Structure 1
Amino acid sequence: MNDRPRLVLAGLSGGAGKTILTLGICRAMAAAGLRVRPFKKGPDYIDAAWLGLAAGRDATNLDPFLLPESLLLPHFLEKSRDVDISVVEGNRGIFDGMDVAGSCSTAALARQLDAPVVLILDATKMTRTAAALVAGVAAFEPGLNLAGVVANRTAGARHRDILRRSIETLAHVPVIGMLPKIPKNPIPERHMGLVSDREQGAVDAILDGIAAVVREHVDLDRLVAIARSAPPLPDVAPDEPGCDAPLSTEADSGGAPVIGVVRDAALWFYYPENLEALEQAGARLAAVSLLDDAPWPALDGLYLGGGFPETHVEALAKDTVMRARVAGLAASGMPVYAECGGFMYLCRGLVVEGAHYPMAGVFPVDTTLCAKPQGLGYSLARVVADNPFHPVGTLLHGHEFHYSRCQAALEGGLPGPESFCLRMERGVGMHAGHDGLLFRNTFAAYTHIHAHGAPHWARNFVKAARVWRRGKMPPAAGRG
C-alpha cells in the first residue's frame, strides 16, 4: 500500500476560481517547506505551466479520457512519489464529463484516486442557497468524499459569517476558507485561457501575491490534514508498457538519435510525459527555437508542439532562414511531428486580422486565426493512412483547442479526404472531419495526443529517427 497525501480542488463550473486557488495553495505550501506535486485534470498546458511554477515542480496532467484506466493510477503513484502532498486541480464543473453519465469528470477522477475533494464555490450574492448547492454536490454521486468548501468572492464579514454558518450547519460540510473579491485578475486571460508564464512579467511576484491572499483567508493546515486523511492506495502496475517504464530500443552503434524539440515563446505546449517517453524510447532531446538565430545541432527528428504562433507571427514570417531550414528538413525526409501551433507554422501561411504571413510552406494550405474557437474539446481520431508515427487502424484519444481554421492557400483548393491520415470520429480536425496531413515523413495535425494514451507514438518516432539517421528511410507510402 502507498501513503499518498492528496486532495482534489473542484468547482461548480469553469470560472469558479479553481486555478487561482490552486496556484495560491501550491505556492503557500511550497513556501512553508512542503514538497508539493501539482496535477491538472484535463487537457491543459497553460494552467499546468503556472502550477509547476507555483509548486516548484512540474505539473502532471491527469485525465481519464487521455490516459487508459490501467495507466492512470500507476502514473499518479509514480509522479506523487517522494512528495509531501499532491494537489489536483479539476476542470469545468465537478460532475461535468463527456456525457450525461459524467464520464471523465473531475468527480470520476477523484473516485479513481480515492481522493478527498475540496469545493470552491463562487458565493457572489449568495448566502443560504450556498448550503443547498453544497448539500446537493455532497449527495449527488455515491463515492464522492466532499471534505471541505472554500467560498470565493465573498463580500464582507457579515456575508462570510452567514455563509459559513449556513454551509456548516445545513450542509454539514466544513468551510476551509473564505476568499474576498479580488478586483483584478492577477493573471490576465486571452483567447486560449490564462496568459502564458513565458509572456507574463514578474511571475514570482504574481504567485507570491496570490499565495499571500490564500494564506490569509484559507486554513492551509486543515487542507494538509484533509490530504493526509486520504486512504493508502494499492500497489498497481500498468497492464501494458507505459511511459514510466523503460521501453526496449534497437541497438544503435551510432548513439542515441537526436530529436529537436521547439521550445520558445511561440511553441511550447508539451506534456512532460511525451518528452519523457521519447527519452525512454532511446532518443536524446535537444531544445531548439524558431525565434532566434542560434545554430541547431545535427538532428535526426523534429517535434513542434502547440503554442501561440499568432502572437509572434511577424518574427516567424521575417526569419526566412529559419523557415527555409525547417522546410529543408521536411523535404529531406527527416521525421517531423507537429501538433496544432506546430502545424500552423508548417503551412504555406498564417492569416491574422486579414494580413497573410508566410510560414515554412511544408503543406499547401493556410491557417486563419478566428475570433471564436474552431475546435475545442476531446477528440477521437482513427488512423486511416500509412505514416511513420501511428499504425493504421489505431483510435487516438486526443484533444483539440484551436482558434485557427485550415483553408486553401491562395493558389489552390483544400486537399481531398484521401490526403489526410486521420478521420475524426469526435472533434473537428482540419477539414471535413479529417486531420493529419503528411508530407514525406512530416506529420502534422490539430489533434494533441498524450504519450500514455498512445504508447506506440514515442517508439515509432524514435525508430523513424534512428532509421533516417542510417539513411534508409523512404517517404511514407503515397505521400510527398
Structure 2
Amino acid sequence: MNLPRIVIAGLSGGSGKTLVSLGVVRALARAGLAVKPCKKGPDYIDAWWLALAAGHPTTNLDPYFLGADMLRSLFWTQCGLAGGQGQPAGQSSGGARVQDAPCGFSLLSRPGPFDMAVIEGNRGLFDGRDLSGSCSTAELARILGAPVVVVMDCTKMTRTAAAIVSGLRHFEQGVRIAGVILNRTAGPRHRTVLRETIEHYTDVPVLGVLPKLTDNPIPERHMGLVSGMEHEECVAGLDRVADIMADHVDLHRLREVAASAPAQRQPIADLWSLLPGADHTAPAPSAQRDVEPQAVHHARPRIGYVHDAALWFYYEENLLALRHAGADLVRLSLLDDALWPDLDGLYLGGGFPETLAARLAANRPALDRLRGLSDAGLPIYAECGGFMVLGRSIVMDGTEHPMANIFPVRTVFHPKPQGLGYVDATAVRDNPFHPVGAPFRGHEFHYSRCVPCDTPTAEGTAEPDCASSGPATLPVCALLLTAQSGHVTGMGEGRDGLLHNNTLAAYTHIFAPAVPHWAPAMVRAARGFRSGRPA
C-alpha cells in the first residue's frame, strides 16, 4: 500500500511552513491533482485553509492523541487506503468537495482517492513535549514513513544555512530530510550563495528559494491564520500564494520526493471499524452526508451541529465518529432565523463567537431556543466557543453581550491566552458523554476566562472587579484537568465542564478517535432522548 506523501516542516513557528504548505497544496490542486491535506495537530484554522486550498477536508494527525498504530490507521483510512477501501486515483468516491459547501466546509462520505498527501508540521521539526522530542513533527514523519521538506527562514544568513541543514540531516535516526525550501531571501546573490553552500556541504537538495514578501496574502490573528469566513479574498489569496510557489519551487521535484516515500503495510480495517460503538448497519457511504433539515431517518437519531461564522471549530473526525456511531447530522446556524428541525442531540463546537457577540446577542429567538432545548433535556455537548454561547454573557472590550443563560457564568476576554495546551481529563460527575473515572485527552486554547455571575464588577464597566473581596463561586464542574503542556486552567484551577440536565459545556476540545467512548455515548443519549427514555 502506498501513496506519495511529504511532511512540510519548519525550523520554528513563523518560519513560513504554513504559507508554503498552502501554496504547494493549492498549486498541485490547480494542476489537477487530488491532494489530501493533513495537519500535525491540534489545529482548526490552518486545517481550514488547507482544506480550502485542496478542495478536500484536512485530517489532523497528532501523536499526543493517538499511538503509532492508530495514527497510521487514521491516516490511511482518511486517504481511502485502509481495509480494502482504496480506489485508483481519478475515480469518484462520492464525497463532496470542500468548495461545494458554504463556508468551505464539507465531509467526505468516503475519503479518496488521492494522488498525494501533504502533511503540514507544527512548530520546529524536532520540537516535542520532552527531552526526547515526543509528539514532534519528526515523530509523526517517522510513523508515516514520510520524507521531510524543511522550510528555512534565511533572513540575514548565508553559509550557516548549510550547517543547519547538516545538523537536521544527522540529528535523529529515521527522519529523512529530503529537501529544503529557503524562505525570505534578500535577492539573487543571496539566493545563489545559499543554494551553492547547502548543495556543496550537504546531500540535501534545495527544492525552492522564495523571496521576501512585502505582505502576507493570508492574514493572521491571535490564534493563527484568520478564518477564511472572515476574509472575502481568501481564494484570491490562496491563488496568489500558489503562483509564488509555482514560480519559485520545483513542484516536479517535490512530487518526486513524495513518490519516494516507502510503502507501508495496509491496516486490516479502517479506523472507524476499530473504534467501539461503530454502527455496522449504517447506510452505504454515499448516503452518509448531512441530511436535509426536513429529512427523517427513523432508525438513526438526528444530531445537529452549529456551523456558521461564529462556531466552526470541528474536527472532521468528530463528525465522522458520530455518523459511524449511528447518527444523522444536520448543519445549523445561530446567526439566522431559520427554523430548526426536531433534534435528538446537539453539538456546539468552538470558534470566534466574540467577534460576532453583538449579532448573536441580537438573535434572541435562537438563544432562547438553546435554553429551551437544554431545559427539555436534549443532549448538548459544547466546546469552548460553544460553551461561551451557553453562558449568561460574553464580555468583550468592556461590553457585555447577553447569551443563552444556561449557565450562571460570564466569559470575559483578555489580551493574553488564559488556557493553552494539552490536557488529561477525567470525568468526576455523571454526565451523558464521559463515564465517571474514565480518563481522556484533549486540548484548550482560549483568551477568555470563566467568571461566576456573583463576581462583583468594577463601577461603570462589565469587567470583573479583581480588587473586590466579594464572593465568586464557580459552579460545580464535571471534569478535572491535568496540564500536560502549556498553561492550562479550564474554568479555573484545573476544573472544567459545567452541567445542566443533559448539557455539558467545557473549554476542553476533544479529538474523537482519541476519546472512543464519546461518539457512541452521545448517540446513545440522543436515542434515549428520541425514545422518551432518560439518557
Q: TM (normalized to structure 2)?
A: 0.85
1:277 equivalent to 2:321? Answer yes
Secondary structure class of the residue paired with 1:296: coil
Residue number in structure 2 paired with 1:73: 72
Is contact 2:301-2:327 (8 Å) kept?
yes
CA distance in 1, matches of 2:448, 2:14: 24
> How far is the alpha carbon of 1:242 from its aligned partner?
5.5
> How far is the alpha carbon of 1:99 from its aligned partner?
1.2
Residue number in structure 1 paired with 2:385: 341
Residue number in structure 2 paired with 1:196: 227
Alignment of 1:33-72 (within 5 A): 33-72=32-71
CA deviation string 1:360-409 (max 9, x = no partner): 01111111011011111211112222110011122221111101111111
Comparing 429-438 with 330-339, greater Cα deviation is found at 429-438
Residue number in structure 1 paired with 2:516: 455
CA deviation string 1:266-298 (max 9, x = no partner): 000000111111111111111110000011111
CA deviation string 1:274-330 (max 9, x = no partner): 111111111111111000001111111110000000000001111111111101101
Is contact 2:9-2:151 (8 Å) kept?
yes
Measured at CA, do residues 142 and 378 of structure 1 come closer, stay the same or move farther in structure 2, by a change above 3 Å?
Answer: same
CA distance in 1, matches of 2:259, 2:280: 40
> How far is the alpha carbon of 1:411 from its aligned partner?
6.5
Measured at CA, do residues 378 and 207 of structure 1 come closer, stay the same or move farther in structure 2, by a change above 3 Å?
Answer: same
CA distance in 1, matches of 2:169, 2:306: 45
1:233 equivalent to 2:264? Answer yes
Is contact 2:317-2:513 (8 Å) kept?
yes
> How far is the alpha carbon of 1:69 from its aligned partner?
2.9
> How far is the alpha carbon of 1:203 from its aligned partner?
2.2
Residue number in structure 1 paired with 2:86: none
> How far is the alpha carbon of 1:459 from its aligned partner?
0.4
CA distance in 1, matches of 2:246, 2:276: 38
> How far is the alpha carbon of 1:202 from its aligned partner?
2.4
> How far is the alpha carbon of 1:67 from its aligned partner?
2.3
> How far is the alpha carbon of 1:26 from its aligned partner?
0.5
Is contact 1:243-1:277 (8 Å) kept?
no
Is contact 2:19-2:241 (8 Å) kept?
yes
- The root-mean-square deviation of aligned C-alpha atoms, in Å, is 1.9
CA distance in 2, matches of 1:241, 1:367: 36
Structure 2 regions of 5+ residues with no counterpart?
81-112, 283-295, 457-470
Residue number in structure 1 paired with 2:417: 373
Secondary structure class of the residue paired with 1:8: strand
1:403 equivalent to 2:419? Answer no
CA distance in 1, matches of 2:276, 2:217: 39
Instruction: Name the count of aligned residue pairs.
Output: 472
Residue number in structure 2 paired with 1:159: 190
Residue number in structure 2 paired with 1:478: none
- Aligned mate of 2:492, from 428, 431, 435: 431
Secondary structure class of the residue paired with 1:95: coil
Is contact 2:275-2:516 (8 Å) kept?
no
CA distance in 2, matches of 1:242, 1:339: 26
Secondary structure class of the residue paired with 1:198: helix
Comparing 247-256 with 131-140, greater Cα deviation is found at 247-256
Measured at CA, do residues 245 and 55 of structure 1 come closer, stay the same or move farther in structure 2, by a change above 3 Å?
Answer: farther
Residue number in structure 2 paired with 1:142: 173
CA distance in 2, matches of 1:250, 1:360: 37
1:421 equivalent to 2:452? Answer no
Secondary structure class of the residue paired with 2:8: strand
Residue number in structure 2 paired with 1:306: 350
Secondary structure class of the residue paired with 2:51: helix
> How far is the alpha carbon of 1:145 from its aligned partner?
0.3
Measured at CA, do residues 220 and 375 of structure 1 come closer, stay the same or move farther in structure 2, by a change above 3 Å?
Answer: same
Structure 1 regions of 5+ residues with no counterpart?
475-480
Residue number in structure 1 paired with 2:129: 98
CA distance in 2, matches of 1:35, 1:290: 34
The one-letter code of the counterpart of 1:452 is: P
CA distance in 1, matches of 2:16, 2:401: 37
Comparing 245-254 with 25-34, greater Cα deviation is found at 245-254
Q: TM (normalized to structure 1)?
A: 0.95
CA distance in 2, matches of 1:118, 1:253: 47
> How far is the alpha carbon of 1:117 from its aligned partner?
0.2
Alignment of 1:174-193 (within 5 A): 174-193=205-224
Quote the sequence identity (%). Answer: 55
Secondary structure class of the residue paired with 1:452: helix
The one-letter code of the counterpart of 1:58 is: P
Is contact 2:182-2:206 (8 Å) kept?
yes
